[in-house]
Amino acid sequence: MIPIAKPVIQQEEKQAVSEVLDSGILAQGPRTRAFEEAFASMCDVRHAIATSSGTTALHIALLVHGIGPGDEVITTPFTFIASANSILFVGAKPVFVDINARTYNIDPGLIEDAITSRTKAILPVHLYGLCCDMNPILDIAKRHDLIVIEDACQSHGAEYQGKKAGSFGIGAFSFYPTKNITCGEGGMITTSDGQIAERCRIIRNHGMHKRYFHEELGYNFRMTDIHAAIGLEQLKKLDKFNRIRRENAAYYSANIKGVLLPFEPKGYKHVYHQYTIRVPDGRRDVLRDYLKERSIGSEIYYPVPIHQQSFYKQKLEDDLHFPQTEKAAKEVLSIPVHPSLSQADKELVFKTINDFMEQGSD
Ligand SMILES: *Cc1c(COP(=O)(O)O)cnc(C)c1O
């Protein structure tokens, strides 16, 4: 089976973990600090704050801006559930805005219509490894005095007009095993604002300002040094992993026929967390089965848009519809693009897709 995702864990990661275990410092400690510094440097920001997951990074990013009950946060319905759940965690209301059909990211042209007097933030998600169109988003945020929280959980190292994902607003990253780099579980907040960074550290650690002095409600959202040690080694390989992902993507784009391919607009650096094709006319699920029968893994990110998830349907008062999102959810299919693919794997993937598409056209 060619898996849809595969973490690359090598001798360096194993050695680093072993050193932490021998050091006796297992919880948040010097490796976490080192990982934060290295990550901040990769993103071209002043500060990075390691967390227990991408979800807790998003949760802190909302908390630190005082977003809570009565507030609204604008985001996309075409994302992983955690993007919207984090808004619910703080008691605020997610307000969804449809996507651009070609990039799968929030359509900046639709954001202003969704702004109300309660809107506090925009939470764009850089889906599949491609940055959102940040200039219009930053313009709107500036005009309406809104915070920008980037869900960069799929876009480590991605760029927009020469700037890194996570450096436009406050960024949230994930190190879940399927992401471009992993530490098992883990997350990171990025910011160049020193005061915000300090408050993120406090919220992450039980609201503790000084040892055992608590001036606000905090959480235990810390990363362990065991995870950070893996993350540090992975981060050294990020450029290489992303280069291979981009090479794999270019190979597919040159060879796959008959389906809509991913799009990298000019001035963007896509890091292909996913390589996502579009298969219309109800044939997506048939192709998925066809690939599976031939030992090729694929996945639908995401089959049910957030506004159509049963839990959200109960919560949201209106019957919402987002045509581009709903269409994409029926047509997208992500195929293996991770750095462990062999040449034979890639050939099998593209040839199998082409065989399937040819059969359908006659
Ligand atoms: C993975 C992911 C998250 C959540 O990250 P975890 O580390 O799994 O909590 C949030 N948003 C997006 C878009 C993701 O892909």
Place domain 239-361 in its CATH homologous superfamily. Aspartate Aminotransferase, domain 1 (3.90.1150.10)
Q: Which CATH number among 3.70.10.10, 3.30.365.10, 3.40.640.10, 3.40.50.880 corresponds to the domain 11-236?
A: 3.40.640.10
How far apart are the CA of 82 and the centre of ligand 1, in A? 6
- Whether residue 262 has its Cβ less than 6 Å from ligand 1: no
| Residues of each domain in the chain carrying CATH 3.90.1150.10 | 239-361
Residue carrying the six token digits 């909302």: 62
Q: Which atom of ligand 1 is nearest to the CA of 58?
A: 10
Q: pTM surpassing 0.95?
A: yes
52 lines ligand 1 (CB under 6 A): no
Residue range(s) of every CATH 3.40.640.10 domain in the chain: 11-236
Can you read off the two tokens belonging to residue 93?
Answer: 């209301």
Is residue 154 in contact with ligand 1, taking CB distance under 6 Å?
A: yes
Q: What is the dihedral of CA 163, 182, 241, 80, to 10 degrees?
A: -60
Residue 362: predicted pLDDT: 46
Per-residue pLDDT of the chain (362 residues; tens, 9 = 90+): 999 999 999 999 999 999 999 999 999 999 999 999 999 999 999 999 999 999 999 999 999 999 999 999 999 999 999 999 999 999 999 999 999 999 999 999 999 999 999 999 999 999 999 999 999 999 999 999 999 999 999 999 999 999 999 999 999 999 999 999 999 999 999 999 999 999 999 999 999 999 999 988 999 999 999 999 999 999 999 999 999 999 999 999 999 999 999 999 999 999 999 999 999 889 999 999 999 999 999 999 999 999 999 999 988 877 899 999 999 999 999 999 999 999 999 999 999 999 999 986 54
- Is the CB of 105 within 6 Å of ligand 1? no
Opening angle at CA 45, ends 229 and 247, nearest 5: 70
CA atoms within 13 A on the CB side of 334: 21
Which protein residue's CA is at the shortest distance from atom 14 of ligand 1?
A: 153
Dihedral angle sign, alpha carbons of residues 336, 245, 260, 100: positive
- DSSP character at residue 169: S
174 lines ligand 1 (CB under 6 A): yes
Atom from ligand 1 closest to the CA of residue 127: 13
Q: Give the tens place of pLDDT for each residue, 146-196.
A: 999 999 999 999 999 999 999 999 999 999 999 999 999 999 999 999 999
